[in-house]
Structure 1
Amino acid sequence: MATNKADPELQASPYPCGNLLDGRRNDYLDIAIPLYRASIKGDWEAAKLILDKDGMLVRYSITEKKDTPLHVAAAGHSLKFVKNLLAIMQPVDLELQNADGNTAFCVAAISGNVDMVKSMLTRNSALPTICGSDNKLPLYLAALHGQREVADFLYSKSDKMTDECWTNDNVDDVLLKCIQSDIFDVALRMLKDNEGLPRYQHLWDVLHVLARKHKAFSVKRLPDIMQIMQIIASGKHPSMNTQHLN
């Protein structure tokens, strides 16, 4: 199997190489299209025939949206295909961003492919701290798209959101998105782990969302929802101090 040994200049770029799309049409027809089809289908044997000839193709755009083979596979369902790709990629290759600004890790998070997320994380531990579309972190993107399992896993790896990539605003944003997406268990863990959430400027947004979620108040979810409301309404919560309400 050809391995990916990129020159330093190419690996320094955060974007895939566009030669297959911008170069000769035969390369697009003979390489990009078949590699895309193999990636989206999870057909490793077909992909291997192409990648054996040039391992650097893992760093190439194979769609107009600048998706690499890993980006395409991350939106699919073949974990085996993804693992085979990862085996021939360098850790820095996983940081390549498509036209939306998403890494393949972000695509897997958005798609809810938690096993792919875990596999990619073993190759590059920095992936959860690399922003995707709209400059949002993967945990936020998972919550935005209602991917509870991925959000739960990424939160467990976030060191309670104390890494340098986290700010007061984006922590509050994740909390709000978790509640909007009915991921109440993760929202509850965030509140318990981070005293003072949500900050005052976001407090009423959270309360407003909770007040509108009549359908979410099921017997199964009610305990988490009630705990969320109790923590927010608690006198121990700085955002509810009377000095803010006068």
Structure 2
Amino acid sequence: MSHRMSHPHGASFENIDQQAPSSVESITADTSPHMALVIKSETSRHVAEENQNQTYKCETSKRPTRSEYLELYPAALEGNWDKAKRVVEEYPEAIRDSITETRDVLHIAFASKHTSFVKEVVRFLTDEDLERINVNGDTALCFAAKLGTVKIAKEMVKKNNRLPLIRSSEERSPLHIAAKLGSRDMTSYLCDVTPFEGLSPDERIEILMATITNDMYDIALKILEKDATLGTKKDKKTIAALRELAKKPLVIGGKSRLSLWERCFNFG
């Protein structure tokens, strides 16, 4: 005699198992192909919306408020890194954003010539950030060349040694800019760190001419030592400039050094 446990309503567990499919099977059996696609589509949409919401929350949480931007402006003007540090550490992108119509934190600090502040700002910037051209057509180093702030220029070149060959929107290298402005210390420094092979022949001549025109004869001689072919140019401007240089033996280091260049130039 078979002993089988029965459901109170008279159906055996075996019969119930056979009659009632699992919940998953029920859903599968009761769901048409069209409905399955709808469910899948709705699920994907909800997941995408959730991801988008999370991304939006993440992005908006990283943007400083207007008042926090306003904190950066006086901090950059004053060179007050402690005041700027809180905003910059919480919102690193703020260091790259313009906080006036034409200038970002770095350029404002440049103009105020706060070397220690700029040094801190540069730590937060990438090489690519330093290579960017601002709305006025200057890279960070071109701007420093205009201001003549050598210490600041050194900090940037230390981080990115490609900067001396990245030109402004006027197609002038930082060295060319400094020489044109007659900024002696900046021109001397940039002359040392600028790979002359990266300058065009015309730009080399223009830089040489600018150093002579602005009475930077020692730097002019340094340029000629880097590229002696400049002394063989036959155009009138170059010859006139070299003759002017030849009249300054006391400035450029004595007659013995000058006579070497006179023989090289073959115009003495």
Q: TM-score, normalised by structure 1?
A: 0.71
The 1-side partners of 2:97 and 2:81 are apart by 17
1:61 paired to 2:131: no
1:87–1:235 CA distance, 2 compared to 1 (3 A)? closer
Q: Deviations over 1:142-162 (max 9, x none)?
A: 112222111111111124x12
1:107-133, Cα deviation, whole Å (9 max, x unpaired) = 112211111111111111111011025
Runs of 5+ unmatched residues, structure 2: 1-63
> Is the 2:209–2:238 contact (alpha carbons within 8 Å) kept by the matching residues of 1?
no
1:81-119 per-position Cα deviation (integer Å, ceiling 9, x unaligned):
011111111121111211221112111122111111111
* Ranges in structure 1 where 5+ consecutive residues have no aligned partner: 1-25, 242-246
Runs of 4+ in 1 over 6 A off after TM superposition: 225-229
1:128 alignment partner, one of 148, 164, 175: 164
Match 1:45 to one of 82, 91, 95: 82
Aligned to 1:97: 133
Which residue number corresponds to residue 223 of structure 1?
251
Q: Structure with the greater relative contact order (CA < 8 A, sep ≥ 6): 1 or 2?
A: 1
Q: Measured at CA, do residues 223 and 84 of structure 1 come closer, stay the same or move farther in structure 2, by a change above 3 Å? A: closer
TM-score (normalised: structure 2): 0.65
**C-alpha separation in 2, matches of 1:96 and 1:177:** 26
Alignment: residue pair count: 201
2:146 aligns with 110
- Alpha-carbon distance, 1:32 to partner: 4.2
- Specify the alignment match of 2:223 in structure 1: 190
Distance in 2 separating the partners of 1:123 and 1:83: 10
Q: Which residue of 1 aligns with 2:175?
A: 139
Bigger-Rg structure (1/2) = 2
User: What amino acid does structure 2 have at the position aligned with 1:90?
Assistant: T
RMSD: 2.9
For residues 133 and 77 of structure 1, what CA distance do their matches in structure 2 show? 23
Percentage of identical aligned residues: 28
What is the identity, as a one-letter code, of the residue corresponding to 2:234? Y
Contact 1:139 1:154 in 2 (8 A): yes
Q: 1:196 Cα shift?
A: 2.6
